[in-house]
Amino acid sequence: MSAQEADQAVAEPGVWGRRLRSLAEKTLAIVAVLGVWEILSRTVIDPFWMSRPSLVGARLWQLAVSGDLLWHTQTTVWQALLGLVMGLVAGVAGGVLLTRYPRMASALNPIVMGLYSLPRIALAPLFIIWFGIGLLSKVMMVFSFVVFIFLLNTAQGLRAVDPDLVDLMRSMRAKPSFIARRVQFPSIVPWLINGARISIGLALIGSVLGELLGSNRGLGWYVEHSGGRLDTTGVFAGLVALMAVAIALNSIIDLVERWLVPKNG
């Protein structure tokens, strides 16, 4: 066994120990919050206002057994992922163009920042007129939330590339595709990972917002439907399901980050 392999074998238990300890701490925090919520709802606060974890859990189990939970969840997630992928592709392409042509970027900057700062809810009536109340309007709502995140992060990541390194590669007659693959792309990966982490929550917001404006399924529709019936337990069940989806998607982003941006040492 080499010295490097021996060091890795010694360090591995420590890594797993830290991960298990972190998982235990997170689990303990969740249990503590749920416990306090359950106690308050049984002793101080009327369950009508905030339900109870036990009731919410029972409702989620009922929805899971009936298949409604999967039906609503996959609708919301599918809309969010489609818009997220479209926003990623368009945002990266736009960021590359703005970096490649700085004069165009300077001219378009007020428009880009104005659209980025525009409240998306103000666009909802137009999206319904343009795209109807079907899948496309929800996807475009998500797209409008995330595209500028990827565009700005891509542009910033490319601007952070060391220009001396690029000049060195060009002096060695490296092809533009080689420079992009070996220098520029690795530079923007951390920016894209951070953008994706921010965009997951925004994508779910856009998907739910689209469902609130017009839909007959999805977690956002279920929350609105339960609220209209004064069903607090149903509202919290939908919110907990959305939180679970967000946690799962963020965990996937963490795995992608470990794969694309391995930590040294």
All structural domains of the chain with their residue ranges: 1-45, 52-260
pLDDT over 70 at 264, yes or no: no
Query: Which tops the pLDDT comparison, 171 or 123?
Result: 123
- For residue 192, CA distances in Å to 120, 139, 209, 221, 225 come to 22, 20, 24, 30, 36
CA 253 to chain centroid, in Å, comes to 8
Residue 263 — very low, low, confident or very high, per pLDDT cuts 50/70/90?
low
* Mean pLDDT, the chain, integer: 84
Residue 93 — very low, low, confident or very high, per pLDDT cuts 50/70/90?
very high
Percent of the chain surpassing pLDDT 90:
32
- Determine the Cα–Cα distance for residues 229 and 12; give it in Å rounded to an integer: 53
Ranking 2-6, 53-57, 58-62, 157-161 by mean pLDDT, the lowest is: 2-6
How many degrees, rounded to 5, is the angle at CA 90 between CA 129 and CA 146? 70
Ranking 98-107, 114-123, 157-166 by mean pLDDT, the lowest is: 157-166
Instruction: Count other Cβ atoms within 10 Å, centred on residue 238.
Output: 30
pTM over 0.75: yes
pLDDT over 60 at 120, yes or no: yes
- Start-end of H helices in the chain: 3-43, 47-50, 53-66, 68-100, 102-117, 124-131, 135-159, 163-171, 176-179, 185-213, 219-228, 232-260
Homologous superfamily of 52-260 in CATH? MetI-like (1.10.3720.10)
Taking each helix axis from N to C end, the angle separating 68-100 and 53-66, rounded to the nearest 10 degrees, works out to 90
How many degrees, rounded to 5, is the angle at CA 232 between CA 231 and CA 234? 70
Question: Once rounded to an integer, what is the mean pLDDT over residues 226-250?
Answer: 92
- Start-end of H helices in 174-231: 176-179, 185-213, 219-228
